[in-house]
Amino acid sequence: MYFFFLNFFFIFLVYIFDNLILFYKKSCTFANKILLIIK
């Protein structure tokens, strides 16, 4: 039971981390587009 919970928690962390990286990349490209428009 404990091992199952640990495994689930790890998968959950990886999922959150992946989403954060995706969001960061999107916001970076968005910021770059804005900078290009300003320039």
> What pLDDT is stored for residue 14 in this prediction?
95
Task: Report, in this order, helix, strand and coil percent for the chain, each rounded to 5.
Answer: 95, 0, 5
Side-chain half-sphere of 8: how many Cα atoms within 13 Å?
A: 5
Report the predicted TM-score, pTM, of the whole model to 2 decimal places.
0.55
| Residue-level pLDDT at 13 | 94
pLDDT tens per residue, range 1-39: 788 888 999 999 999 999 999 998 888 888 888 888 887
Residue 33 pLDDT: 85
CA separation for the pair 2, 8 (Å, rounded)? 10
pLDDT at 26: 87
Dihedral pair phi/psi, residue 31, rounded to 5°: -65, -40
